[in-house]
Structure 1
């Protein structure tokens, strides 16, 4: 396993992390992802730790807290071997205090998460979405308090726009509060909007990307093919509306390129897609999911080898599309690009601080 610095922090995280959205299995979305109980989760954690995966990502909203509870049971007795990342901010109920990141909500969410996880601290606490109703000063002062109390070690955000994250970082700098070191983002070969603004921001401000849905909401498994209907057992029949939309032609073009590279490397399509992401600037960790042991072992096979620069370039070209304004001039016009070169090149090497273990 490779280990990387999480943004500009001193925390070293594995290149692959295990997402626990399948743990608990409740509700219309998470019930479709999986229903892993504590016993099965413990087995998945065993396999992950054997492979060097030490970070496990969850959220209070995953199966209404059941994911955190199952994860806590799965890591019981080996808390010192793992990093736990969780999130809060999305609605957990219909009451006025059941959503957002106000002082009261953050304190309660943290205490609830610690109780469900059966631990005394959270290694990475992330704001699940931007809360426009709560001042950044209140949010950051509360997080600072929780860090000082030892309940949270590092903070991050998820699903923020560039201006939202930058506003938070600027507020932290103004008052001396801890800066966010991670941004949990959607990023894949078929979803590359992250590259237009958030990646340059991450490079400039030292914010590492923790990537969710690296296989494009399950579309880059190799099961979806040009001219064929969705496979009968695909979860996309029931969950597509919850995830990011993808143009069919873009998807098929990327899958064709993945097919060719998979044949050249002797790897699977998901392994190739994950390996490509691991070479991207700012990427600290890619979250993989697994409903069973075989799927987990397959995803772990994305590390320990490298695509060639030519293969990286071919995959990047297959998934390329024009950026929206105001980013497209920097992407397409030489004069703009000279002022602010794009952070991504087609033959981008692996991060220099990656180490094998």
Structure 2
């Protein structure tokens, strides 16, 4: 396993990590989780991601119980959670000081932990001033309930505003962002956030490297394997949007490249994400033991992703963001 600094911080995170989205609480219980988490640790993974909204809090409970039963040393792992959707009440969601403080306390109870290493604002909250959110996240850090705070799916403008507030008030700004990043979703990571890496040392922990499994090659028109994510009732709308001819044709076009490199499609897609120098960790997801084992081999093929191979991939997916013309 390769360990990378989380942006400009001193924290080391595994280049590949594991996230509880979809799986914990929806498909897996504590017994299953222990098996998958154990395989992750054996591969050197030290970063595990969660959120208060995953399975309505059950994902945090499962992860906390599994880690406790496995007897892991807390300082050996990096645990994150995310706040925004905490319930149905008017103050159970968003990024107000009230919800941030009540939300992290509830998450820590479910995880059965004294702190999380990383705490994310799961989405931007246009109804709460960013200054209120920055102050609240710093207060959480001052209490020792989290060590670093960051954002997820914020715009570059919103992240910049948070940093400007932090500078003005001599507070801690967001150290990391958690955006979607894969061969089909590249705009934010490669173009919009580009100025932030140097200006603020922003680190990325990216999600959905396989585009919800589409880039694994297991889906085709009209074929949704039993037990897969798109077979779940609450993900059928996502399947309808994802399994379209344009996307499936791109996946088919990537298969010869994977064959030429003698690697599975899933490993190719994950390694491609990890090859971006601004990505601190690629969050993987899996519901089966063999998927974890295969995913963790992705780093081994990084040397195969030569400039020529990357150009072939770009030619197939045709998704590289175009930089706007600059005035001279």
TM-score, structure 1 normalization: 0.83
Quote the Cα distance in structure 2 between the aligned partners of 1:201 and 1:215.
Answer: 25
1:201 to 196, 199, 205: 196
Contact map agreement 1:23 1:66 (CA 8 A) in 2: no
Does the aligned pair in 1 maintain the 2:267–2:297 contact within 8 Å? yes
Higher helix proportion, which one?
Answer: 2
Name the structure 2 match of 1:344.
none
Shift of 1:312: 1.5
Question: Structure 1 residue 155: deviation in Å?
Answer: 0.6
User: Who is 2:44 aligned against?
Assistant: 52
Q: Following the alignment from structure 1 to structure 2, what is the Cα–Cα distance between the partners of residues 124 and 68?
A: 14
1:18 alignment partner in structure 2: 18
Over 3 Å counting, the alpha-carbon distance change for 1:232 and 1:71 in structure 2 is closer
Change (3 A) 1:250 1:276: farther
The 1:13/1:186 distance shift into structure 2, 3 A limit, reads: same
Aligned length: 319
**Compared with structure 1, are the counterparts of its residues 49 and 87 closer, same or farther at alpha carbon in structure 2 (3 Å cutoff)?**
same
Query: What is the Cα deviation at residue 66 of structure 1?
Result: 0.6
Alignment partner of 1:87 is 2:82: yes
CA distance 1:131–1:285, change in 2 (3 Å): same
Q: Which residue of 1 aligns with 2:254?
A: 258
> CA shift at 1:203, angstroms?
4.1
1:205 and 1:266 mapped to 2: Cα distance?
Answer: 39
- Tell me the distance in 2 between the aligned counterparts of 1:87 and 1:272: 28
Q: Which residue of 1 aligns with 2:183?
A: 189
Partner of 1:161: 155
Assess if the C-alpha contact under 8 Å between 1:19 and 1:58 holds in 2. yes
Q: Which residue pairs with 1:140 in the alignment? A: 134
With over 3 angstroms needed to count, the CA separation of the structure-2 counterparts of 1:268 and 1:241, relative to structure 1, is: same
* 1:148-297 alignment, distance < 5 Å: 148-194=142-188, 195-225=190-220, 228-233=221-226, 234-236=228-230, 238=233, 239-242=235-238, 245-246=241-242, 248-297=244-293
Unaligned runs of 5+ in 2: none
The answer to whether the 8 A contact 1:3-1:15 is kept is yes
> Closer, same or farther in 2 for the Cα pair 1:245/1:181, shift >3 Å?
farther
1:119 to partner: Cα distance: 0.9
Deviations along 1:50-107, one digit per CA (max 9) or x if unpaired, are 10100000000001111111111111131222110100012x3221111011111111
**Aligned in 2, Cα 1:222/1:136: closer, same or farther, shift over 3 Å?**
same
After TM superposition, give the deviation of residue 253 of structure 1 in Å.
4.3
Q: Is the 8 A contact 2:230 2:239 kept in 1?
A: no
Structure 1, unaligned runs of 5 or more: 26-30, 340-357
2:138 and 2:5 map into 1 onto residues whose CA distance is 21
- Which stretch of the first structure deviates more once superposed, 268-277 or 304-313? 304-313
SS in structure 2 at match of 1:285: strand
- CA contact under 8 A between 2:216 and 2:266: conserved in structure 1? yes
1:220-247 Cα shifts (integer Å, max 9, x gaps): 111234xx42335353354153589558
Q: Which moved more, 1:145-154 or 1:252-261?
A: 252-261
TM-score by length of 2: 0.90
